[in-house]
A and B are shown apart, each in its own frame.
Chain A
Amino acid sequence: MKRLFVLLWVVLPVVLALPSPPQALASWAGDNCNGTHYDDYYVKRSEAQSYASAAAEEGYEWGGGCWNNNNKDDTPDAPDSRGEGPDCSGFTFKAWELRNGFGKQGFEKWERLYEIHGPWTTYDFHSPVSDDPFYKLADKNVSTTIYMDAFAKDGHVAMIYVDGDSPFGLDLMIEALGDDPGTGKFYESYRSQSEYVGVRREDWTDDCWPSCQHPSPSVVVVP
């Protein structure tokens, strides 16, 4: 029920904000978001990282999920106008190639210019349920998290952009941070903030695929 409520909280304003067809052409999304989507397989973290990276500098839009790749916010100072950019949960939804529905497994590629937010809110990322294609990590240790895992709280979600030792307590995150900072890579201290939990998308394909060096079958010597 809470999920439904939160879903309404995110989607309803977007739906209500949808203008009538003639006016839709006046919005940035109406004019530009002509992408498509399709089933995807063997999706790697590195691909998700690359996809997310292209959204940097492309703005932020609450409830949004559509952007191009020209390295600038095409709708600056125009919040909640179907402008360019994702919000934090929509950004994670698209970068993780989640399917558009609770309980749906597998991957779906959403092109940058396909406008979609997805059904998950920050609350859902922070508190996954059993049929979600992502789960809460047991801890937030540096040795536990892997790049493109997320840190989520009820109110924000951000993805770890790179692995690495950051002695002064910061992680390089990629996130849709807000109307003013926009979407991009930012150093954050989410790891040492109790509101944030670590979250992992399920079923990534190893980055080495299809050239992974599988160990040789063990030789069994029969006496």
Chain B
Amino acid sequence: MRRAVVLMGVLSMAVGCTGSTVPPTSSPTPSSSARSRVPTPTPSTDALPALTLLADLGDEPAVWDRVTFIPFGNRPEQLGYKTFPTGPASQPSAFAVAPDGSFWIDDRWKRRVGHYSPSGVFLGTAGQLEHPGWDLAIVGDEVFVLVDQSSGTVGTVEGTKVKQAEVTYGKDPLFIVQLIPTARGLVAEATGIAGTRPGELETFVRLDVPSSIGGEVLSGLPLGRGDVSFDAARSEDPVHPHGDQDFDLTFTSPEVTQAQPIQFDLIVHDGHQERSIPAEVGLLEPLPMGDDVLMYVRVAPARPDDADTYGDGRWLLRVGRSPLLWERLPDPDTTDELHHRHVAVGPDGAIYLMVTKKNGMLILRRPGTGG
């Protein structure tokens, strides 16, 4: 935690400027010959100094404010939960916070979305979903549900119903990994479409649900007012050759691209000795928050013996125009592989977290307005 504070100021300076927020120039029309002669500016690239974040498994999770706890059970206001003899346990998979501060929870085992007041009072449900849901996003007042990844089935909550449509791109179903609310509307992190880099599996596609036609392929995840885009890639020149823990984050505006190398050191403790070990880092669930992007970061040892000995951890990363935020998050009480959306942004700019507990889902809020 101490180290994170030190690093905050550094990254604040380093990535505090993500380029102008001037809206991009509109495309020239055929009749505007004067405009069409204006050369398209090529954004320059600023390479920023590399940053190192310490994922110290000896750190305690940050203390967040408890908002509410919603138990598992069969009653309508309770959430579905299922365990299996083999296979991951099945808990609610995602949540989102509406402009009025109420919560929507993707209650996958009951094939519905549940709605709760800011204090956790049950307000109702919408469903039934054709499949157990995967993700949730709220754009404006509309609540969207990723009902099925591979068929690109996206639902829109309409009263107590969820209107479902299978989104296509070209002639094929759009394989949607997750739904992301942005200033440019609902965006899907999707696969099966060539990304902006060779070998890239996923890219961002704007959706116009309930239209079932996939929209524009974006150059990255829109931030701010939508004129800055964010993307990430594994470093081509990693500092840690034995792990996947070095990345290049890019923030692109019409004028400038800023490349921010970021490295993660996994720190473990053997008695009084601490050391860095090779790690696998997952920059999960990217979520715009103003000019910043939030990510739910999982860090685990790369080597199996280390994994058995030390376990893993989860952190919250906020990077962009605001000061860097890097803090450890609480672990769930049980495995939560099928929990796909842990972090949400509230209407007041606060950051919310949903954690799987033994008997229900705990909603926490990070202290302080604006996170």
Chain A residues within CB distance 8 Å of chain B: 9-10, 13, 56, 60, 62, 87-89, 121-122, 136-142, 155-156, 162, 164-170, 172, 176-181, 184-195, 197-198
The answer to whether the Cβ of B77 comes within 8 Å of any Cβ in the partner chain is no
Residue pair A192, B280 in contact (C-beta under 8 Å):
yes
Assess A194 versus B84: contact at CB under 8 Å? Given A165-B199, A168-B189, A168-B284: no
Extra pairs beyond A10-B85, A194-B311 (12, CB < 8 Å): A62-B84, A62-B85, A137-B304, A139-B243, A155-B86, A156-B87, A165-B200, A170-B284, A172-B191, A178-B87, A192-B282, A192-B284
Residue pair B300, A194 in contact (C-beta under 8 Å):
yes
CA–CA, A39 and B200, complex, Å: 38
Assess A168 versus B283: contact at CB under 8 Å? Given A140-B302, A188-B337: yes
Contact stretch, chosen from B22-30, B40-48, B97-105, B228-236? B228-236
The answer to whether the Cβ of B149 comes within 8 Å of any Cβ in the partner chain is yes
**1/0 contact trace for B74-97 toward A, CB 8 Å?**
000000001011111010000000
Residue pair B301, A194 in contact (C-beta under 8 Å):
yes
The answer to whether the Cβ of B335 comes within 8 Å of any Cβ in the partner chain is yes
Chain A residues with Cβ below 8 Å from B177 are 170, 187
The residue in A10, A56, A137, A181 that gathers the most chain B C-beta atoms within 10 A of its C-beta is A181
CB distance from A118 to the nearest CB of B (A): 13
The residue from A56, A60, A165, A198 contacting B233, defined by CB atoms under 8 A apart: A165
Residue pair A167, B298 in contact (C-beta under 8 Å):
no
> Which B residues, 350 to 367, have Cβ-Cβ distances below 8 Å to chain A?
none
The 6 A-B pairs at the shortest CB distance, nearest first, are namely A169-B282, A192-B282, A194-B312, A194-B307, A192-B298, A139-B302
Chain B residues with Cβ below 8 Å from A56 are 150
Assess A165 versus B234: contact at CB under 8 Å? Given A88-B86, A184-B150, A192-B300: yes
CA–CA, A189 and B295, complex, Å: 13
Residue pair B312, A192 in contact (C-beta under 8 Å):
yes
| A-B CB contact pairs (8 Å), 17 listed | A56-B150, A87-B87, A139-B304, A141-B242, A156-B86, A156-B87, A165-B197, A165-B201, A165-B234, A167-B231, A168-B232, A178-B88, A180-B82, A187-B191, A191-B244, A194-B307, A195-B335
Residue pair A192, B150 in contact (C-beta under 8 Å):
no
The answer to whether the Cβ of B187 comes within 8 Å of any Cβ in the partner chain is no
Residue pair B233, A167 in contact (C-beta under 8 Å):
yes
CA–CA, A153 and B281, complex, Å: 18
CA–CA, A9 and B85, complex, Å: 9
Residue pair A162, B201 in contact (C-beta under 8 Å):
yes
CB distance from A18 to the nearest CB of B (A): 17
Closest to A142 in B: B244
CB distance from A55 to the nearest CB of B (A): 13
The residue from A9, A168, A178, A195 contacting B84, defined by CB atoms under 8 A apart: A178
Assess A139 versus B242: contact at CB under 8 Å? Given A177-B88, A187-B149: yes
Closest to A184 in B: B150
> Which B residues, 183 to 237, have Cβ-Cβ distances below 8 Å to chain A?
189, 191, 197, 199-202, 231-234
Residue pair B86, A121 in contact (C-beta under 8 Å):
yes
The answer to whether the Cβ of B64 comes within 8 Å of any Cβ in the partner chain is no
Closest to B314 in A: A192
Residue pair B298, A169 in contact (C-beta under 8 Å):
yes
Chain B residues with Cβ below 8 Å from A122 are 86
CA–CA, A186 and B108, complex, Å: 15
The answer to whether the Cβ of B152 comes within 8 Å of any Cβ in the partner chain is no
Residue pair B280, A172 in contact (C-beta under 8 Å):
no
The answer to whether the Cβ of B145 comes within 8 Å of any Cβ in the partner chain is no
Residue pair B282, A155 in contact (C-beta under 8 Å):
no
CA–CA, A166 and B307, complex, Å: 21
> Which B residues, 165 to 184, have Cβ-Cβ distances below 8 Å to chain A?
175, 177-178
The answer to whether the Cβ of B299 comes within 8 Å of any Cβ in the partner chain is yes
Residue pair A141, B87 in contact (C-beta under 8 Å):
no
Residue pair B244, A89 in contact (C-beta under 8 Å):
no
Assess A89 versus B86: contact at CB under 8 Å? Given A139-B278, A168-B284, A170-B284: yes
> Which B residues, 137 to 183, have Cβ-Cβ distances below 8 Å to chain A?
149-150, 175, 177-178
Assess A142 versus B234: contact at CB under 8 Å? Given A181-B132, A192-B300: yes
